[in-house]
Amino acid sequence: MADVHECPKLKESFPRERNAPKVKRKKLLSSDYIIKKRQPFGRRQKQDNDIFITNKTNFKAQLKKCEKLLSNDTSEVIIHGLGATVQRACNLALQLKEIHYGSVELDTRTSTISIIDDFEPLDDNGNYETINRNNSAVHIRVFRKFSLGGLRYQE
Contact 42, 113 (CB under 8 A): yes
Residue pLDDT, tens place only, 26-84: 666 667 788 888 877 555 667 788 999 999 999 999 999 999 998 887 889 999 999 99
Is residue 27, in this structure, part of any structural domain at all? no
Is residue 28, in this structure, part of any structural domain at all? no
Q: The domain that contains 54 carries what CATH number?
A: 3.30.110.20
Is residue 128, in this structure, part of any structural domain at all? yes
One-letter amino acid for residue 18 of the chain = R
Coil/strand/helix, residue 75: coil
* b/e 84-98 (16+ beta carbons within 10 angstroms → b): ebbebbbebbebbee
Predicted structure pTM score: 0.69
Q: Which long-range contacts (CB under 8 A, 24 or more apart) does 91-97 make?
A: 91/59, 92/51, 92/53, 92/59, 92/62, 92/63, 92/66, 93/140, 93/142, 95/63, 96/63, 96/66, 96/67, 96/70, 96/142, 97/142
Mean pLDDT calculated for residue range 130-142: 92
Count of structural domains within the chain: 1
Is residue 85, in this structure, part of any structural domain at all? yes
Domain that includes residue 63, residue range: 33-41+50-144
Q: What is the dihedral of CA 52, 55, 60, 61, to 10 degrees?
A: -50
Residue pLDDT, tens place only, 2-29: 544 555 555 555 555 555 555 556 666 6
Is residue 83, in this structure, part of any structural domain at all? yes
Query: 86 falls in which pLDDT band (50, 70, 90)?
Result: very high
